[in-house]
Each structure stands twice: as C-alpha cells, then as structure tokens.
Amino acid sequence: MTHYRAVKGTRDIFPEEVVIWQYLEGVVRRVASLYGFHEIRTPVFEYTDLFQRSIGATTDIVGKEMFTFQPDPRSRSITLRPEMTAGVMRAFLQKGMASSAPVHKLFYISDLFRKERPQAGRQRQFCQFGAELIGASSPPAVAEVISYMMHVFRDLGLKGLKLRINTLGDLEDRHRYREALKAYFSPYRDELDEPSRERLEKNPLRILDSKHPRVREIVAGAPLLTEYVRPEARAEFERVLGYLDERSIDFVEDPLLVRGLDYYCHTAFEVQCDELGAQDALGGGGRYDGLARELGSRQDLPAVGFAVGMERLLMAVEKQGLLSSLTALGPEVYVVLQDAALVDHALGLCGRLRDAGITAEMDLAGRSMKAQMREANKTGARHALFVGSEEVQKGVYGLKNLSSSSQESLDLEAILRQLGNH
Ligand code: HAM
C-alpha cells in the first residue's frame, strides 16, 4: 500500500480491463474503416480561447469544468481539452484541409478532461470515441455519421438504446426561440432552482434539460423549439429522419433536446442507455456549420459529428452481459524450469520460440516447479514446456498440452514446427 492514490475522478486500467478496452477500440476502428473515417490525433491541450469561442462562454463546460493553466505569467492561457470537436476543427483549418478534398471524414479515440463532480459514469479524465465529418452536413451526411455510431453499438450487441433527435433550426431560429424562452420563464424566476435561474439570462435553452421536479413542470408548458424552426429547416430534418428510417435506425423525436454545447445548429441527437443510471447519455452530437467561421474561417463550413463516452460504453456492454467470452489470451508456451540453474537455457528457448512468432513466458523469480505450474495455468498458457538437466543434455523437452493434459517429448525443431502451425 502507498499513501499515494489516483486523483479523484481518474482511474487506472489494469491488464484484465485493457483487454476489454482493446476489444471496444477494435470495433470502433473496424467500423470506421467500413465507412471511410480516418483517425486524427490532436494535442491534449489547446489555447483556452479556442474552447471559449467554440463550446460557448455561457456553457457549463467553459463556465466551470475546464482545467485551465498558464505555463508562465506572460504566456497565453492553456486548457486541457474538454472535448474533441474544437481541436479537430482547429487542426482542420490550420492545415487548410478543405483545399485537398471537399469532404473529410475523421474519427478519434481520445482522452478528455472536465472538472465535474465525480460519480458513476462521470469522471474528470475520460475517453470518447467520435467522428467529425467536415465539408458536408446534408441529410445523407448526417445519416452517415449517425449510422456509423449506431453500427458500432449494433456490432457490440447493445440492445434497448434510445436515439433522441431534434432540430435546433439555424442561428436566427435559435435566437428567436431563446428570447421566447426568456419571456416564458421570467415570471417563474422565483420557482426555478439556482442553476436554472443562472441559465435564464445566459442560456435559457439549457433550462429545458433540467432534472429538477418543479422546473420540469414549468418546462412542460414552455414554447417548443419546433414552433420557431422555419419550414425549410424542418423539411431538411424530415429528410434526415427518412434516411434513418431507410436504414432501420429507430429514433424518438424529442423537441426538448438541446445539448450542452453552443456550436450546434439544425439536427442534434443523443443516445440514452437505461443501464447507465443517472448519467444515462451514452453519446451525442449534431451539425455545427457555424463553428469554422467562429474560429476565423471566411465562410461557414458544413460539418456534423458525434462523440460517445468510452467508460459509459464499457459499462453498458458489461451490464448487458456482452463480454463473457472475452479473456486475456495467455501465452502459447510457459517454460517450466526444474531448477534455477537452467535459467539461461530457458531464456534461450523463449528467445527461439518468440523469434518463430510463438508467444512464450517463463518464471523470472526463481520459484518452485509447483509454483511455476500454478502460474502457467493462471496465465492461461496453452502448453507447458519442461526443462530439466536431462532434457537440456538430450535436447528433447516435455511439451504438455494444458487443456488435454497429453504430453510428448520433442526436440526444439519439432516443437517449433508443431506450435508454429497452430
Ligand atoms: P458531449 O455530449 O459533451 O459531446 O459528450 C459526449 C459523451 O461523452 C457523453 O454522452 C458521455 O458519454 C461522455 N462524457 C461527457 N462527459 C463525461 C464525463 N465527465 N465522464 C465520462 N463520460 C463523459 C461532445 O463532447 C461533443 N464534442 C460531441 C460532438 C462531436 N458533437 C459534434 N461532434
């Protein structure tokens, strides 16, 4: 034991769990390649104003959840990335990627940092997989992005997920709606909870997300965003829904869905999973055509994307019992020494096996044969290879199949031939 502990809201991932992570990441990557999404990796920190500008100064993320620091008194403020979209767009614009092709399809599996109160499903360092399609946000582009996300869930075997979807209209629609909400909620000011009161001036749309019982009652009578979305935007949204229908992706239209980041316009969506408890949002995303201009581009750049929390994804697959067949792959061969003096010979054997592409392990702690056999079984090794002084002299070793318990005496060449074919 040590008195040092992992920082609250962070966690270690030990080898047994890494197997699960690698499996999830493998599915994410494989499905990405089916759809033609290519991986992008951006720095873990960016200048703070990038996030203020893109996520929005009045959002919870920028207002209270960012890890921000100044490397020295004269340098620009820096923030650990709380999400990926801003950094990906920054990288896209910086490299001038638009000039190389009209549409780019990017995906990522990346660690992020938010100073939220840690609880189940909510950490201060967490991981997301996500995708950003930049250069198009037409209904087929939106459907493509949602299909990629849902395909990953389907391949993992997840059931009972709820895709909620809404249209936020364009910036002007949202502006009119925001004013209408302010006018509606203002007479209720004293009945609102503290966070909602704060949002009333700065970001009244977020009141719609409130889980507070009285606020929910008030929200029930609020004007709906749909009434403020113009017919052209509505028609485009209907086309998105049509594509989802064609691909047999179930969804629920939810006029109260807003999302906690400011860059969205038109289609926004979220996926909910009942097994996750209070933090039931598995992922979310939407269109963000105005973000490029916010970051200095001369024109709007159509774009759409999503992100899914990997820890929550892991929790969901675990709770739905979809991981039972996943176990760490033990070595093909565990070399068992009769006595510690043979360690050099055994190391040589391991080297020959590994050079031939056969996974091999041996005891490095000088333990008894019995302890070595226990270890061989524990690691899930498929064979034990016995090395005693007689074996070394003759160059013939006992190779035991640990599942059938059958044993043969073979020289190294025969062992390499037999296990190499495996
Ligand atoms: P977001 O809704 O803020 O969207 O995050 C997406 C997902 O990340 C959430 O649904 C959740 O699963 C996971 N997540 C968020 N915060 C935490 C946390 N503190 N602990 C564990 N998991 C968490 C975005 O980040 C947007 N960038 C998505 C996007 C991409 N929109 C367009 N492109």
**Centre of ligand 1 from the C-alpha of residue 126, in Å:** 9
- Verify that 74 and 157 share a domain, yes or no: yes
Question: How far away, in angstroms, is 128 Cα from ligand 1 center?
Answer: 7
Model pLDDT for residues 293-341, shown as the tens digit of each residue:
999 999 889 999 999 999 999 999 999 999 977 777 789 999 999 988 9
Residue 122 has what DSSP assignment?
B
- Looking at the fold, whether 43 and 151 belong to one and the same domain comes out as yes
Give the end of a domain, one of 319, 346, 373.
Answer: 319
Asked whether residue 343 falls in the same domain as residue 311, the answer is: no
Alpha helix ranges (H) inside 326-395: 343-355, 369-379, 389-394
Q: What is the CATH number of the domain that holds 341?
A: 3.40.50.800
Beta strand 333-337 pairing with 360-362? parallel
Helical H segments across 36-167, by residue range: 48-55, 60-64, 85-95, 139-156
CATH label of the domain that carries residue 239: 3.30.930.10
- The answer to whether residue 224 sits within a structural domain is no
274 and 414 housed in the same domain: no
Record the tokens describing residue 402, joined without a space. Answer: 């640990």
Cβ-contact 146, 306 below 8 angstroms: yes
Q: What's residue 253's pLDDT?
A: 96
Q: Which residues of the chain have pLDDT under 70?
A: 421-422
Question: Does one domain contain both 68 and 158?
Answer: yes
Task: Give me the pLDDT at residue 422, please.
Answer: 58
Q: Are residues 246 and 113 in the same domain?
A: yes
| Same-domain status, 302 and 385 | no
Task: Look up the domain containing 311 and give its range.
Answer: 15-170+230-319
Model pTM? 0.91
> Within this chain, do residues 383 and 252 fall inside the same structural domain, yes or no?
no
Q: Is the CB of 11 under 6 A from ligand 1?
A: no
| 199 domain-assigned | no
Q: Where are the alpha helices (H) located in 273-411, listed in sequence order?
A: 291-294, 310-319, 343-355, 369-379, 389-394
pLDDT tens profile 166-186: 999 988 898 899 999 999 999
Residues 27 and 69 in one domain: yes
For residue 166, the one-letter residue type is N
Query: Residue 42: what pLDDT?
Result: 98
**Residue 324 in domain:** no
Instruction: Let me know: does 49 contact 66? Beta carbons within 8 Å.
Output: no
Q: At what angle do helices 15-35 and 139-156 cross, to 10 degrees?
A: 140
- Strand order across the 68-69 sheet: 45-47, 78-80, 68-69
**83 touches ligand 1 (CB under 6 Å):** yes
User: Is residue 408 helix, strand or coil?
Assistant: strand
Residue 162, in any domain of the structure: yes
- Within-domain flag for 106: yes
Choose among 325, 347, 237, 285: nearest CA to 130.
285
80 residue type, one letter? L
* Residue 78 lies inside a defined structural domain of this protein: yes
Number of structural domains (the chain) is: 2
Task: Provide the pairing of β-strand 125-134 with 104-113.
Answer: antiparallel
Q: For residue 200, what is the enclosing H or E element?
A: helix 194-202
Q: Which residue's CA is the closest to the ligand 1 atom numbered 30?
A: 306
Residues 6+ apart with CB under 8 A from 383: 332, 333, 334, 399, 400, 401, 402, 419
Within a domain: residue 44?
yes
Q: Are residue 148 and residue 294 in the same domain, yes or no?
A: yes
On whether residue 178 sits in a domain, the answer given is no
| Position in ligand 1 atom list of the atom nearest CA 82 | 25
Judgement on whether residues 45 and 128 belong to the same structural domain of the protein: yes
Ranges of H-type helices in 81-193? 85-95, 139-156, 171-185
Residues in Cβ contact with 11 at an 8 Å cutoff, skipping those fewer than 6 apart:
123, 125
Are 109 and 88 in contact, with CB atoms under 8 Å apart?
no
Burial class (CB in 10 A: 0-12, 13-18, 19+), 177: buried
Judgement on whether residues 35 and 109 belong to the same structural domain of the protein: yes
Verify whether ligand 1 is closer than 6 Å to residue 56 (CB atom).
no
Whether 224 and 168 have beta carbons less than 8 Å apart is answered as: no
Q: Is the CB of 84 under 6 A from ligand 1?
A: yes
Q: Is the CB of 122 under 6 A from ligand 1?
A: yes
CB-ligand 1 contact for 123 (6 Å cutoff):
yes
- Tokens describing residue 215: 């606020």
